[in-house]
Structure 1
Amino acid sequence: MAYDEQLAERVRPLMRRRKGFSEKKMFGGVGFLLSGNMCVGVWKECLILRLGLENYETALSDPDTREFDITGRAMRGWVMVEPAGVEVEADLLDWVDQAVKFVRTLPAK
């Protein structure tokens, strides 16, 4: 299955306006980077978010999230949000903002 291009089209304007934005095809999906750091992505029908370890467990308590695991080994600090968790634009924006806030703490690559 290719990634959800409609979801990517919803995410793109939320990320494009950010300083240091770039986009890259990766892991069979698309990744949105800030200053060279992966921030948000779309894989299959899910939104992928880099939230860091401090926000990871809290995010996983949401019923629409799960660990980011596409290889059989979960990546701690990253979550996948199921389609139901991003149906509403305000929810999508909130998730993206959380990822941006974390990634802005990382040094540029």
Structure 2
Amino acid sequence: MARDRGLEEVVRDLVAGEAGLTQGPMFGGWAWLVDGNLLCGARTDGVLLRLGKGNDAWALEAEGVEPMVMQGRPMSGWIRVAPDAFADEGFARRLMVAALSFVRSLPPKEAGRR
């Protein structure tokens, strides 16, 4: 999977100024972590967001949003948003606010234990 610099820029704009944020290559794309916990990732097939178990139903109702599937199994609380759906600035912001809220509720991971 190739990186999508345009999607990466959109995500960067949405998370600009967030405390505890790190970023780097992951899963064939680019990923963002908050205090060591994975927040989201971007690559050519869309944006992966971590909303948390039980927090993703509202997002899954939107066109272009699907559950994240890893090795054939859906991952509860994780969604993949198609690039076209993430292009809606208001929707993308709402998704990111929800993801940040969930990830900030998690205990920070110690350096080296990710």
TM-score after normalising by structure 1:
0.90
After the TM superposition, which of the residue ranges 82-91 and 42-51 deviates more from structure 2?
82-91
**How far off is 1:24 after superposition?**
1.9
Structure 2 residue runs of 5 or longer lacking an equivalent are 110-114
- CA gap 1:4/1:15 in 2 versus in 1, 3 angstroms: same
Partner of 1:85: 85
**How far off is 1:61 after superposition?**
1.6
**How far off is 1:16 after superposition?**
3.3
Q: Does the alignment pair 1:43 with 2:22? A: no
Aligned Cα RMSD in Å? Answer: 1.4
Percent identical across equivalent pairs?
Answer: 36
CA distance in 1, matches of 2:73, 2:27: 14
Structure 1 segment 1-109 matched on structure 2, within 5 A: 1-109=1-109
**What secondary structure, in the 3-state scheme, does the structure 1 residue paired with 2:54 have?**
helix
Relative to total residues, which structure has the larger helix share, 1 or 2? 1
**How far off is 1:69 after superposition?**
1.6
How many residue pairs get matched?
109
**How far off is 1:76 after superposition?**
1.2
CA distance in 1, matches of 2:56, 2:90: 20
Contact 1:56 1:79 in 2 (8 A): yes
**What secondary structure, in the 3-state scheme, does the structure 1 residue paired with 2:55 have?**
helix
Q: In the alignment, residue 103 of structure 1 is paired with which amino acid?
A: V
CA distance in 2, matches of 1:18, 1:2: 26
Contact 2:28 2:43 in 1 (8 A): yes
